[in-house]
Structure 1
């Protein structure tokens, strides 16, 4: 069965948590509800009814949107799922008023984000 994508799905915390653990090898937030409440758009990738990918786009309420936590189950990586989720998120974010899509990433992901159309910028970051 091919992968299909949904805009603004609301999987339960158990499904999102299982994906988070697989994708990040870390414990997920206790609940995703407060995160998704601030979302401009989120995208889910599904194999049948099983959640295999997810990403969130937060907003400043204006023209800036922020791509957060693109996650793909390791068994499904290298199939273009994350790239398609980023594309769909960008289209939806623009339709909902965003004009800039920002992303922070580690150097080993530079090629992926360049392939998605992002270009490097200088920015600052403070760990709180």
Structure 2
């Protein structure tokens, strides 16, 4: 079972499973600087996707540029680091549940976007 606080964190802060995987990889190797090529190879992604993930992690305050050598794990606050630690533990124990929650969230957003373009008949 996913604790409520971690569930909220996932819904609010984790846009995709690749984002989560990249975050956890950086967290597991906090002293390593990751560039897009290394991240792409490790997570089996294309370089453009890896570059986007590094930018998203940096924008979210979870990673930071390291002297032009790549990006490293750098939560902007101790509370955020603690939340990521909790998430890592929950993900390790409940991988399918966490992944499903992330996918459902993404599917709801896609469905809402698609529904915005559905033509509806006006009743006279």
With normalisation by structure 1, the TM-score equals 0.28
Larger % of strand: which?
A: 1
Higher helix share: 2
Q: What TM-score, normalized to structure 2?
A: 0.29
**Whose Rg is larger?**
2
Higher RCO structure, 1 or 2 (CA under 8 Å, sep 6+): 2
